[in-house]
Amino acid sequence: MSAIPLEQRRSAKENRRVAFATIVGTTIEWYDFFIYANAAGLIFAKLFFEPAGSDIGILISFASVGLSFLFRPLGAFLAGHFGDRLGRRAMLVITLIMMGVATTLIGVLPTYETAGIVAPILLLLLRIVQGISAGGEWGGAVLMAVEHAPRSKRGLFGSFPQLGVPLGMLLASGVLALMSGVISPGAAFVEWGWRVPFLLSFVLIIVGFVVRRSVEESPVFEEIAQKKQQTRVPVVELFKKHWLLVIIAALIFAGNNAAGYMTTGGYILSYATNPKGLAMDRTSVLMAVTASAALWFVFTLIAGFLSDSIGRKKTYLIGYGCLIVTVFPLFWLVNTGNIWALFLGLAMFTVGLGLTYGPQAAVYSELFPASIRFSGVAISYALGAIIGGAFAPMIATALVQATGTTVSVSVYLLIVALVSTGAVLVIRDRKGIDLSINNQAEQEVGATVFDSRRPTVREDVDVNA
């Protein structure tokens, strides 16, 4: 059986099922995550951190967004360990349930006015659970997609779970806009309307659970399990042999994540609607963010196709080039206070976001060896999120408060994007490399320009299988 290429063992029907399951599950997972980020930018400073005052309250609110990122590595370590030893699918189901339960419970929390200090403490604890879940979910979703994919379409299949992020943002922003502008406008949104999007997660989680349970285990892991080649402690093996690769992979993601959290982290939403600043209409800004998420979706999908055509590195470099040239125009347009100019700025910005997010699943999967791939992918992603997006909204808020201008935010984003561009330049494009355990020798070496080693063919490993 092992002599038959993995892609020949999978049916087109199963590939479609996997693609659908990764998109649906990841969309629900990130809907939950972005609902919190948007609510933090809009209303949590008032509901949970009001005694700190408006300026400090919004900083604490954005810090609570970043808090979850600090716990993503824990989720990545746990999911990576068990994902490499027990399988990808189980981790997908567990992380989905964790995220959904935490999000639903936020929807029933008392506010500071009714429960005092207990309210923000409970909010932060549930945010931590969201962070652990998010840290483990992404790695499992991308490996299920990429390891099921035909070799020539890994970029496209890998973009499917990536599409769940803009879809989750679109859904979260859209539901909040509906509640804020139609169903519970004005005071009603503050009183109870904000809770509905969180409670809706309970329904979505049931859908995601059913869909993810219907998918077969990754063929790569099935082969690893069949040959009993699981690594005893994957994380130790990862950092012993591939610590530099983990750092490089994390830095590749950092620029995209920092830029993305200007929108998904609620910063633009908070900055544009602040009564002391631009004071733009909340519902209109939410709609503009929702529309930009749709464009982010389109360019993420384009990036998947493009990376299969011209390569992962070239697609990444084009994407970071787009981000670099738009970090200043974004805020020039937002600062006009015109909703159409704000949307134009976001639309331009999302081109680079999509092109630097679409190839990521394929790049990460092709960087790490099969036996520790879940750990490598998940931990690199979690560390990149901490470096890039964890406190990006809080940093942006603090920079504007300190300098009085958004130019400082643009400079911050420019620096992070340049660092990520440098990280992209030092990896090798391994598009099409055999991902099976049979090819572990080749996977172990040569992922970066610093590593000139060639694979050693052992008797028990056929690198041409």
Tens-place pLDDT, residues 368-384: 998 899 899 999 998 99
pLDDT at 463: 34
pLDDT at 144: 86
pLDDT band at 206 (very low <50, low <70, confident <90, very high): confident
User: 294-349 pLDDT, tens per residue?
Assistant: 898 999 999 999 999 999 999 999 999 999 999 999 999 999 999 999 999 999 99
pLDDT at 11: 64
**Better-predicted residue by pLDDT, 403 or 22:** 403
Instruction: Give percent of the chain with pLDDT exceeding 90.
Output: 41
Q: Where are the domains of the chain?
A: 6-443
pLDDT at 399: 94
**Better-predicted residue by pLDDT, 323 or 393:** 323
Decide: helix, strand or coil at residue 459.
Answer: coil
**Looking at the predicted structure, is the pLDDT value of residue 177 above 70?**
yes
State the DSSP code for 216.
Answer: P
**Exposed, middle or buried by CB within 10 Å (0-12, 13-18, 19+), for 426?**
middle
pLDDT at 410: 96
**Exposed, middle or buried by CB within 10 Å (0-12, 13-18, 19+), for 141?**
buried
**Better-predicted residue by pLDDT, 41 or 102:** 102
pLDDT at 458: 42
CA distance 143 to 21: 12
- In the block, tokens 């995550």 appear at 33
Our measurement of the distance from residue 310's CA atom to the centroid of its chain's CA atoms, rounded to an integer in Å, reads 24
CA-to-CA separations, 101 to 39, 60, 126, 199, in angstroms, rounded: 17, 24, 9, 10
**Looking at the predicted structure, is the pLDDT value of residue 411 above 90?**
yes
Partners of 276 in the beta sheet? none
pTM of the model as a whole:
0.83
**Looking at the predicted structure, is the pLDDT value of residue 1 above 50?**
no
What is the rounded (10 degree) CA torsion for 395, 396, 400, 402? Answer: 10
For 317-356, b/e burial (b = at least 16 CB within 10 A) is bbbbebbbebbbebbebbbeeeeeebbbbbbbbbbbbbbb
**Looking at the predicted structure, is the pLDDT value of residue 264 above 50?**
yes
Angle, CA 331 vertex, CA 317 and CA 170 arms, to 5° = 70
Tokens found for residue 398: 């603090």
pLDDT at 434: 92
Instruction: Give percent of the chain with pLDDT exceeding 70.
Output: 94
Q: What is the CATH T-level fold of the domain 6-443, as seen in this structure?
A: Growth Hormone; Chain: A; (1.20.1250)
pLDDT at 455: 64
**Looking at the predicted structure, is the pLDDT value of residue 209 above 90?**
no
How many residues are present in the chain? 465
Report the pLDDT averaged over residues 150-175: 88
